[in-house]
Amino acid sequence: MDDTYGLTGHDIGPDIDELRAALAAHGITLPSLGVDPLTFAARSTRPPLVSLGNCNVATARRVAEVLRSAAGG
């Protein structure tokens, strides 16, 4: 199997858990964070996509704040 994406077997569950934990460390919860069901169900050599889902404005602002801070701005 081509491992171009570094995801042999396409098990992205641990990656989602790691992202959830990293967000939580900054007080951010994305309730709909998970595997995108359409790309998970597709028969493809590419791994499924991560669905970040919807969030409220306060959460979106917090994500932007954390990203700006991480970028040094």
The ranges assigned to domains in the chain are: 8-70
In the predicted structure, residue 2 carries a pLDDT above the cut 50: no
Read off the pTM. Answer: 0.78
**pLDDT of the residue at 71:** 92
Q: pLDDT (tens digit, 9 = 90+) per residue, 33-73? A: 999 999 888 877 788 899 999 999 999 999 999 999 999 97
Q: pLDDT (tens digit, 9 = 90+) per residue, 13-36? A: 999 999 999 999 999 999 999 999
Token pair of 1 as six digits: 């199997």
**pLDDT of the residue at 67:** 96
Token pair of 23 as six digits: 């967000």
Q: For the chain, give the DSSP string.
A: ---TTS-GGG--HHHHHHHHHHHHTTT---TT-EE-HHHHHS--SSPPPEE-----HHHHHHHHHHHHHHTT-
